[in-house]
Amino acid sequence: MNFRNFIFCAIDFTDIEQSKRLISKIQKYVGGIKIGLEFFSKNGPTGFLEIKKLGIPIFLDLKLKDIPNTVKKSAQNLINLKPDYLSIHLSGGLKMVEDVVSIKNNTKILGISMLTSLDNSDLKSFGYNLSNLDYVENLAKIGEKAGIDGLVSSAEEIPHLKKHLNNTNMLFVTPGIRLYKNKMNDQKRINSPGQAIKNGSKMLIIGRSITQSDDPINSIKCILQDIEKHYEHKN
């Protein structure tokens, strides 16, 4: 088992050269990278293609959400860049998600359920009388019906989702990963790398634990050790 394939490093920089330096340093220790709004809003498609030249799998995490026609046209522009993965918000509704899935080509579509910066108190403030488990399950079923390839959620929801979804090939993607619980930053629903893998995650989105480390490679090695330790006791 090559445990590095579980790790996608979030490249949350705006500077292309800084991003390329980090990617070149960690490339052989991770399975891929995630490019989000921070990078893409500054550098756009040109910057994305510059990073793509490095030959590493890329998750383009722009969390698209708008009326179906707008999202479909926007997604087509992004799919033309040939990212390996592209994210959309499942709360955009079944039609929006189906429209994107229909044009995905070789890009895998990942559905965003509930941001890991939110918890039950936020759902209540939005007017939802649901737990995060029920809310995420409802969105996951929309995504499953539409034919998404993967679901983005907290690791704590994965065991519940595996019981309630029919697609046994669903790719569970987990942000909010921290080596140490005291490093929560702006996240609320967090898990360690190993616990996320034990729960069933197949892709871990890890940013600051690597990118803000004085020794990114050593941090990745610590993450890999945690994954291996828990993987042996998985399910």
Annotated catalytic residue within 20, 25, 34, 63: 63
DSSP per-residue letters across 171-192: EEEE--B-SSTT--TT-SS-B-
Write down the residue that tokens 């729960």 correspond to. Answer: 199
Overall pTM surpassing 0.85 (yes/no):
yes
Is the CA virtual torsion 11, 37, 103, 133 positive or negative?
Answer: positive
* Average model confidence (pLDDT) across the chain: 93
| Separation between Cα atoms, residue 86 and residue 88, nearest integer Å | 7
- Give the pLDDT confidence of 94-151 residue by residue, as tens digits: 999 999 999 999 999 999 998 878 888 888 998 988 888 999 999 999 999 999 999 9
pLDDT at residue 162 tops 60: yes
Is the CA virtual torsion 205, 211, 217, 218 positive or negative?
Answer: negative
pLDDT at residue 91 tops 90: yes
Write down the residue that tokens 């559905």 correspond to. Answer: 111
| Residue ranges of domains in the chain | 3-231
- Assign residue 127 a region: left if phi > 0, alpha if psi is -120 to 50, beta otherwise? left
- Give the pLDDT confidence of 15-60 residue by residue, as tens digits: 999 999 999 999 999 999 999 999 999 999 999 999 999 999 999 9
- Give the pLDDT confidence of 192-203 residue by residue, as tens digits: 899 999 999 999
Instruction: Tell me what the mean pLDDT of segment 149-161 comes to.
Output: 95
Does domain 3-231 fall into CATH 2.60.120.380?
A: no
Alpha helices in the chain (DSSP H): 16-26, 37-52, 68-79, 94-101, 120-125, 132-146, 158-164, 193-199, 208-211, 216-231
Cα–Cα distances in Å, from 160 out to 7, 48, 62? 23, 35, 26
| Separation between Cα atoms, residue 159 and residue 191, nearest integer Å | 14
Predicted local confidence at residue 233, as pLDDT: 63
Six-digit token pair at 11? 């490249």
- Give the pLDDT confidence of 58-87 residue by residue, as tens digits: 999 999 999 999 999 999 999 999 999 999
Tally of CB atoms within 10 A around 27: 14
Q: Is 82 a known active-site residue?
A: no
Six-digit token pair at 121? 């108190």
Percent of the chain whose predicted confidence (pLDDT) is above 90: 80
Predicted local confidence at residue 182, as pLDDT: 41
